[in-house]
């Protein structure tokens, strides 16, 4: 077993202390009493005087300045054999020496030995040296640890990771699905490699590039690709590493970072999650964070202040550009803002090609079909999807990933882990009617997204799920489409009411009602799709941030607020009535679909539409997207 230096130190220091005191006691006593401890027995002073008066004392050796004596006594009981004994002599017996001489006793005196002083001196010298050496060793080792006591002198130093040649092992070929962002950033690489192409026509190297996008879209991956392609010194740091509890430390770290960067120019600086340090100044309630504001001020000065920073390009990433300080966003600091959006169908297919390089896929698996199956997925979501499919394949002891694992992985990523199937009961039948209600309304409304599948297999918090495939190509949404979505969301509650009665409705429609209310309110207050007219009555950012909207007055009167409530309720009720009418008119096919769903637990979109087409005319939906099938 390999012991760490901390474990050794914890055992070494107490051992040194205990060993020192034990050694002092034993060595000192042994040195002082080396001669006096040679006797076999001890004798009292009174018995010594009795033997002296009887002329049985043969010799006396005095030690410790006359305080201790080793005497030889002739024992008559043992045929006059000599016995050595130790006697402690009193200090106030001046006639004792005279009496010993008068009795013809062989008398000898031994001087006090100085060995104890020598050993004591050595002990007192060696132990402090060992202790100081151990503490020095611990201090030196702690200097190399982050946050150790030796780091106090480097408290204001930058914590940026520096690489003279960025070894990210990522190039632009490893980044897929965000071609527009790659094209923008390829110019940055060209600026660093061939600046003369731009300076010849008077162009200047951009000071900073801000990558903006949702989490998982590939902002950090793009920064790694830029570092790998440029081949220049690369600094990487997180925005939170600038801010400390002590005022001025963050600003000192910014200065130190740019000092190192200037020494290695041309170079790249990547600041991840810059919103941690670049938030708006002076908007706090009751005083702002002075440390964060001083850090931001220093960053603004370094990027475009009195002194230039030629040859340094700053790349920053954030998913909250709305909270950044306006001084940070102006030209001359972050000259470019590159949007890194979620990939489209073609982009998802390219991303899947990248992540499938080291995956063993079955020949029946089509990456194109997977890309069509996953609208709205980011690059991180797609990577996680293939990884989950690979884990399921290994768990099922298969040799290659099949469509079944892909389909299960998509469901797991979107809705959560699969739960225990429901037993056949009234609750299961009620849930089946609820899910079929969603699906039947969505199928028979022309402007609704097509049904992908209906399932009674619980996932996450949901006891059953109805999957729709939204259209990703159309960026705008019509009022008819929003009303169709409201009616589709009300389909579950409508089926419960039509089949079981109003008194038997369940809490399963709670999430649906929240979704309906939100869509209806946005139609009224943001999109102008109500009798209130084309008015935008609420801003898109409703939350209070940094005190920006806490004390703002209402944007409309109480009369308008009451009309908004009436309009929202009217739109929700309109969708509710549409859903109830469809379920009422298609009751026969609803019952058949429920029986089939209880039996199979999952019905895919093709089969569902085929059964509905036997009873009613299914409108043709131009936005229909082919489904994954196993």
CATH code where residue 41 lies = 3.30.720.210
Note whether residue 628 is domain-resident: no
Both 52 and 142 in one domain: the answer is no
* Span of 62-71, 132-141, 383-392 with lowest mean pLDDT: 132-141
Place of tokens 């859903």: 579
Both 143 and 172 in one domain: the answer is no
Half-sphere exposure (Cβ direction) of 523: Cα atoms closer than 13 Å: 27
- pLDDT by residue (tens digit) across 79-131? 667 778 888 887 766 677 777 777 777 777 777 665 556 666 666 667 677 77
Please, which pLDDT band fits residue 584 given cuts at 50, 70 and 90?
A: very high
Note whether residue 543 is domain-resident: no
Catalytic residue among 229, 302, 350, 435: 435
Q: What is the mean pLDDT of residues 373-387?
A: 86
Task: Collapse the DSSP code of 321 into the 3-class scheme (helix H, G, I; strand E, B; otherwise coil) and give the result.
Answer: helix
Both 464 and 508 in one domain: the answer is yes
Share of the chain above pLDDT 70, in %: 76
Note whether residue 544 is domain-resident: no
Residue 623 has pLDDT above 60, yes or no: no
Do 630 and 402 form a contact (C-beta atoms < 8 A)? Answer: yes
Task: Collapse the DSSP code of 12 into the 3-class scheme (helix H, G, I; strand E, B; otherwise coil) and give the result.
Answer: helix
Which residue did the predictor score with more confidence, 493 or 157? 493
- pLDDT by residue (tens digit) across 293-351? 888 888 888 887 666 666 788 888 888 888 888 888 888 888 888 888 888 888 888 88
Cβ contacts of 514 within 8 Å, gap of 6 or more: none
Q: How far apart, in whole angstroms, are the C-alpha atoms of residue 496 and residue 506?
A: 8
Both 354 and 454 in one domain: the answer is no
Both 89 and 210 in one domain: the answer is no
Q: Which of 339, 372, 394 is the last residue of a domain?
A: 339
At how many degrees (to 10) do helices 426-444 and 479-489 cross? 170
Residue 22 has pLDDT above 90, yes or no: no
Residue 629 has pLDDT above 70, yes or no: no
Q: Which of 393, 415, 437 is the last residue of a domain?
A: 415
Q: What pLDDT sits at residue 121? A: 63
Both 487 and 499 in one domain: the answer is yes
Q: What is the mean pLDDT of residues 150-154?
A: 49
Both 432 and 516 in one domain: the answer is yes
443: closest CA among 491, 404, 477? Answer: 491
- Strands (E) across 150-233 are located at 161-163, 208-212
438: closest CA among 526, 546, 349, 511? Answer: 511
Note whether residue 542 is domain-resident: no
Beta pairing class for 602-604 and 234-238: unpaired
Q: In the structure encoding, which two tokens stand for residue 379, read together?
A: 């690059």
Note whether residue 547 is domain-resident: no
Both 265 and 328 in one domain: the answer is yes
Both 101 and 146 in one domain: the answer is no
Q: How far apart, in whole angstroms, are the C-alpha atoms of residue 472 and residue 255?
A: 46
Q: Is the pTM of this model over 0.75?
A: no
Both 238 and 324 in one domain: the answer is yes
Note whether residue 514 is domain-resident: yes
Place of tokens 């006891």: 463
627: closest CA among 430, 506, 449, 490? Answer: 449
Q: What is the mean pLDDT of residues 194-212?
A: 83
- Strands (E) across 412-484 are located at 451-455, 465-468
Beta pairing class for 68-75 and 57-63: antiparallel
62: closest CA among 72, 74, 70, 50? Answer: 70
Q: How far apart, in whole angstroms, are the C-alpha atoms of residue 537 and residue 556?
A: 7
Q: Known catalytic residue: 435? A: yes
Which CATH number characterizes residue 220's domain? 3.40.50.300
Average pLDDT of the chain is: 78
Note whether residue 57 is domain-resident: yes
> What are the backbone angles phi and psi of residue 375, rounded to the nearest 5°?
-65, 140
Print the domain residue range for 496. 426-537+552-613
Output the 3-class SS for 453-471. EEECCCECCECCEEEECCC
Please give the C-alpha separations between residue 114 and each of 29, 86, 89, 506, in angstroms, as whole numbers: 12, 21, 21, 98
Q: Can you name the residues that pair with 83 across neighbouring β-strands?
A: 73
Both 195 and 287 in one domain: the answer is yes
Both 130 and 273 in one domain: the answer is no
- Number of folded domains that form the chain: 5
Q: Which of 387, 415, 443 is the last residue of a domain?
A: 415
Residue 443 has pLDDT above 80, yes or no: yes
Which CATH number characterizes residue 457's domain? 1.20.58.760
Cβ contacts of 611 within 8 Å, gap of 6 or more: 589, 592, 593, 596
Note whether residue 389 is domain-resident: yes
């Amino acid at each position: 077993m390999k012991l760490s230096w901390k474990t050794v130190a914890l055992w070494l220091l107490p051992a040194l202390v205990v060993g020192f005191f034990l050694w002092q006691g034993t060595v000192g006593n042994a040195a002082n009493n080396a001669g006096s401890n040679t006797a076999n027995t001890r004798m009292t002073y009174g018995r010594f005087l009795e033997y002296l008066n009887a002329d049985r004392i043969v010799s006396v050796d005095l030690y410790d300045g006359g305080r201790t004596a080793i005497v030889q006594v002739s024992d008559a009981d043992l045929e006059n054999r000599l016995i050595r004994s130790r006697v402690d002599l009193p200090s106030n017996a001046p006639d004792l020496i005279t009496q010993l001489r008068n009795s013809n006793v062989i008398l000898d005196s031994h001087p006090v030995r100085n060995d104890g002083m020598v050993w004591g001196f050595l002990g007192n010298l060696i132990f402090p040296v060992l202790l100081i050496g151990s503490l020095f060793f611990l201090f030196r080792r702690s200097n190399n640890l982050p946050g150790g006591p030796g780091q106090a002198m480097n408290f204001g130093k930058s914590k940026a990771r520096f690489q003279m040649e960025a070894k990210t092992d990522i190039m632009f070929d490893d980044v897929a699905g965000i071609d527009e962002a790659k094209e923008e950033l390829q110019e940055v690489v060209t600026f660093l490699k061939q600046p003369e192409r731009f300076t010849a026509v008077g162009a200047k190297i951009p000071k900073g590039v801000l990558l903006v996008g949702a989490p998982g879209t590939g902002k950090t991956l793009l920064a790694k690709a830029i570092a790998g392609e440029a081949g220049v010194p690369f600094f990487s740091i997180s925005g939170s590493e600038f801010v400390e509890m002590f005022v001025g430390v963050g600003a000192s770290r910014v200065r130190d970072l740019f000092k190192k960067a200037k020494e290695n120019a041309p170079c790249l600086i990547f600041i991840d999650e810059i919103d941690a340090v670049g938030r708006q100044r002076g908007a706090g309630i009751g005083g702002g964070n002075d440390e964060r504001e001083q850090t931001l001020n220093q960053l603004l000065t370094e990027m475009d202040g009195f002194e230039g920073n030629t040859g340094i390009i700053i790349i920053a990433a954030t998913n909250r550009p709305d909270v950044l300080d306006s001084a940070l966003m102006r030209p001359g600091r972050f000259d470019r803002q590159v949007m890194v959006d979620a990939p489209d169908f073609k982009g998802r297919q390219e991303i899947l090609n990248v992540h499938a390089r080291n995956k063993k896929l079955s020949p029946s698996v089509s990456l194109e079909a997977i890309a069509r199956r996953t609208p709205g997925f980011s690059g991180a979501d797609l990577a996680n999807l293939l990884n989950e499919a690979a884990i399921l394949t290994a768990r099922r002891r298969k040799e290659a990933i099949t469509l079944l694992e892909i389909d299960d992985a998509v469901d797991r990523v979107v809705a959560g882990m699969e739960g225990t199937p429901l037993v056949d009961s009234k609750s299961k039948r009620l849930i089946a009617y609820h899910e079929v209600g969603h699906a039947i309304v969505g199928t028979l409304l022309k402007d609704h997204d097509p049904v992908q599948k209906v399932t009674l297999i619980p996932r996450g918090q949901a006891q059953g799920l109805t999957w729709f495939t939204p259209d990703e190509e159309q960026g705008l949404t019509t009022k008819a489409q929003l009303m169709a979505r409201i009616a589709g969301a009300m389909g579950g509650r409508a089926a419960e009411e039509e089949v079981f009665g109003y008194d038997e409705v369940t809490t399963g429609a709670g999430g649906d009602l929240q979704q309906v209310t939100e869509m209806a309110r946005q139609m009224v207050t943001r999109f102008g799709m109500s009798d209130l007219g084309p008015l935008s009555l609420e801003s898109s950012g409703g939350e209070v941030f940094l005190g920006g909207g806490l004390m703002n007055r209402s944007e409309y009167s109480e009369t308008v607020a009451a009309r908004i409530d009436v309009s929202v309720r009217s739109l929700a009720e309109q969708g509710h009535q549409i859903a109830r009418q469809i379920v009422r008119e298609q009751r026969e096919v609803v019952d058949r679909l429920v029986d089939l769903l209880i039996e199979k637990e999952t019905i895919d979109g093709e089969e569902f539409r085929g059964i509905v087409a036997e009873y009613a005319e299914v409108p043709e939906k131009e936005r229909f997207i082919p489904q994954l099938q196993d």
